[in-house]
Amino acid sequence: MDLALDEARAAAGRGEVPVGAVVLGPDGAVLGKAGNRTLELRDPSAHAELLAIREACATLASERLVDCDLYVTLEPCAMCAAAISFARIRRLYFGAADAKGGAVEHGPRFFAQATCHHAPEVYGGIGETAATALLKDFFAARR
């Protein structure tokens, strides 16, 4: 989670919402890492999770990330949860819960839906204090 927090801090430094994500392979090697880049890339899909998943898929030359784990600083939204499912991520670890935009433990609870083809093991609250502080500080500075 420390690497994901580093990516979130870098995103904040670019003026992006501070969310970071890291994909680890079965051996623990970093396959992909990213922070949000929606503003920079002018792309609403440039969430940290999607960018990290894309990089990991390119690293493995595969559209599947079987036996890989994703660490992200904020509970994924529905778009990212779908990508996590399609990529066949083994385990999802996330920091801060997102009651407004989250789709794992909040909102649509994507992985609990009958239409979800693959649900990873989910572990929330990992690094939650640091992830929450990053978000609160970022938005407090914006007000």
Nearest of 44, 32, 38 to residue 15 by alpha carbon: 38
Q: How far apart are alpha carbons 110 and 82 in whole angstroms?
A: 7
Report the Cα 59 to chain-centroid distance in Å: 18
77 has a pLDDT exceeding 90: yes
Summarize the confidence of residues 47-58 as an average pLDDT: 98
What are the phi and psi torsion angles at 11 (to 5°)?
Answer: -60, -45
In this structure, the chain runs to a length of 143
- pLDDT confidence of 142, banded at 50, 70, 90? confident
For the question of residue 63 being annotated catalytic, the response is no
pLDDT digits (tens, 9 = 90+) for 101-118: 999 999 999 999 999 999
pLDDT > 90 fraction of the chain, expressed in percent and rounded: 99
Pick the catalytic residue from 16, 49, 55, 75: 49
